[in-house]
């Protein structure tokens, strides 16, 4: 739904690890409606810095629609296994609360 995309936009995600941090920039799969209810979205972000073992993820959104992340799965070719960050607090994101930070 294109209208939802314009109302809900992920400005980026910061990944912090035991060797530093990096940022994704705007997350967008061009030509596709991202962040739809019940859908799993996957983004490949080339050129990101290696941060070692991911310890925290921080998502920043803009827009008035409420949106909730269930989990974030961080993968890197240099790490053997994926790292999962679950939104166990059930925090919703919107204009009033635009940042979600999850740490292990």
pLDDT, one tens digit per residue, over 55-87 is 999 998 877 677 888 899 998 888 888 999 999
Could you tell me if 5 and 35 are in contact, meaning their C-beta atoms sit under 8 angstroms apart? yes
If you average pLDDT over residues 6-23, what whole number do you get?
83
What is the pTM for the complete model shown? 0.81
Higher pLDDT, 82 or 96: 82
Which two three-digit tokens encode residue 77? 């070719």
What does the CA dihedral 80, 46, 52, 78 come to, rounded to 10 degrees?
Answer: 30
pLDDT, one tens digit per residue, over 18-49 is 999 999 988 877 777 777 778 787 888 888 89
């Amino acid at each position: 739904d294109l209208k939802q995309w314009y109302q809900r936009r992920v400005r980026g995600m910061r990944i912090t690890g035991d060797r530093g941090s990096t940022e994704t920039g705007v997350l967008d799969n061009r030509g596709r409606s991202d962040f739809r209810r019940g859908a799993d979205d996957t983004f490949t972000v080339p050129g990101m810095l290696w941060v070692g073992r991911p310890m925290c993820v921080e998502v920043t959104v803009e827009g008035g629609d409420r949106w909730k992340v269930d989990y974030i799965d961080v993968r890197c070719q240099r790490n053997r296994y994926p790292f999962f960050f679950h939104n166990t607090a059930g925090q919703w994101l919107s204009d009033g609360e635009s940042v979600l930070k999850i740490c292990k």
